[in-house]
Amino acid sequence: MRIKLLLTVFCCMLLAACYAQMPTDSTAEKMLVYQLGNGGWPKQLGDKSVVNYDAALTPGLLAKIKSTEDKHATFDNKATSREVVYLVKAYKKTQNKAYLNAAEKGIDYILEAQYDNGGWPQYYPDKSLYRSEITYNDDAMVNLLNILQDIADRKNDFDVVNQKYLLKAEKAIVKGTDCILKTQVKQNGVPTIWAAQYDKDSMLPAKARAFEPASLATSESVGIVRFLMGLKNPSPAVKKSIAAAVKWFDTYKIKGYRFDREKGKTAALVPDETSMAWARFYDLDKNCPLFGDRDNSIKSKLEELSPERRSGYAWYGNWGQKLIEKEYPKWLAANGK
């Protein structure tokens, strides 16, 4: 009996020693600490301080993290998607099982948060304000779909994820793609591009912050098109969606200009023969640029904005240039019309 006890103690000590010698990644270790109980990650803690993986985990910061509720879990600003991707890569590098466990818990959270209609909210489970809206804004939904696509394709290090996620990921991708096709804004029956967020029930374009009106959103639409172009054996509906979006970008490009908001200068479009630009937002029906201010007012010209908003937001960008000049022609050559 005593020998059996000694063997048990010895085995425990051996396991502890092996674990202590297991390679670690300093950022991954912090991600383990920041992960919330539901599997997601916050972009801000309960006191609204921003998550910063460069910051030392002081007793005060640890107390803030511990007091942050699950409702702060989000997909905004790459939260959760960033951590899942990093942890999978950290596991591939170190073989530290704690990282893979945390990543898979994050994947469970992603799958749980998806709506029946295929969309994802900005936050889950918090439904206050615009947080429950189907959110393409800042590529939130596309980031999640890209992770699920990597799981389904067993690529970008996601081959380490448990195979039980393969079918789940494939089903979620089908639902997500269906949501994308259904939410593509149509003008007189003609598909255009997408809004940044949608009402979760009606699936109609919705506003978010005061300066983010319900409108066509160029930056997010480029990300959506890239996701669709990455699908294997695209259906006729997917092909039609891609072609329509690219046509819209080509029609409304502002050739020979770029957006300059260099510090100390007033933000403006400036001539640049190598570039093309698009406004950040366009009217849902008229395709004319929209600019929102913090007082909820909508302007038709950049010059009409308050100084803080004019230079404090990327109102124009070259988001679609690479898409229409290089990526779409390459995709078209491979996939036909």
pLDDT at 12 over 80: no
CA distance 166 to 160: 11
Higher-scoring residue by pLDDT: 124, 265 = 124
Supply 85's token pair: 């991707």
The residue length of the chain stands at 337
Domains of the chain, CATH where assigned = 18-171 (1.50.10.20), 184-337 (1.50.10.20)
pLDDT of residue 337: 64
Provide the pLDDT confidence category of residue 1 given band limits of 50, 70 and 90.
very low
pLDDT of residue 10: 53
pLDDT of residue 20: 54
pLDDT of residue 260: 94
Which of 1-5, 105-109, 118-122, 249-253 is least confident?
A: 1-5
Provide the pLDDT confidence category of residue 328 given band limits of 50, 70 and 90.
very high
CB 195 within 8 A of CB 179: no
Mean pLDDT across the chain = 93
Catalytic site includes residue 209: yes
> Which tens digit of pLDDT belongs to each residue from 153-185?
999 999 999 999 999 999 999 999 999 999 999
Supply 11's token pair: 């085995």
Provide the pLDDT confidence category of residue 79 given band limits of 50, 70 and 90.
very high
User: Could you give the strand order of the β-sheet that contains 298-299, starting from the edge strand earlier in sequence?
Assistant: 216-217, 281-282, 289-292, 298-299
First to last CA, the chain: 76
Catalytic site includes residue 52: no
Name the catalytic one among 52, 154, 162, 209: 209
pLDDT of residue 19: 47
Rounded average pLDDT over 71-91: 98
Supply 5's token pair: 């006890």
pLDDT of residue 165: 98
pLDDT of residue 294: 87
Name the catalytic one among 77, 156, 287, 335: 77
pLDDT at 187 over 80: yes
Rounded average pLDDT over 272-288: 96
> Which tens digit of pLDDT belongs to each residue from 218-227?
999 999 999 9
Provide the pLDDT confidence category of residue 265 given band limits of 50, 70 and 90.
confident
Provide the pLDDT confidence category of residue 6 given band limits of 50, 70 and 90.
very low
Exposure string (b/e) for 162-179, b if CB count within 10 Å is 16 or more? Answer: eeebeebbeebbebbbeb
Rounded average pLDDT over 115-139: 96
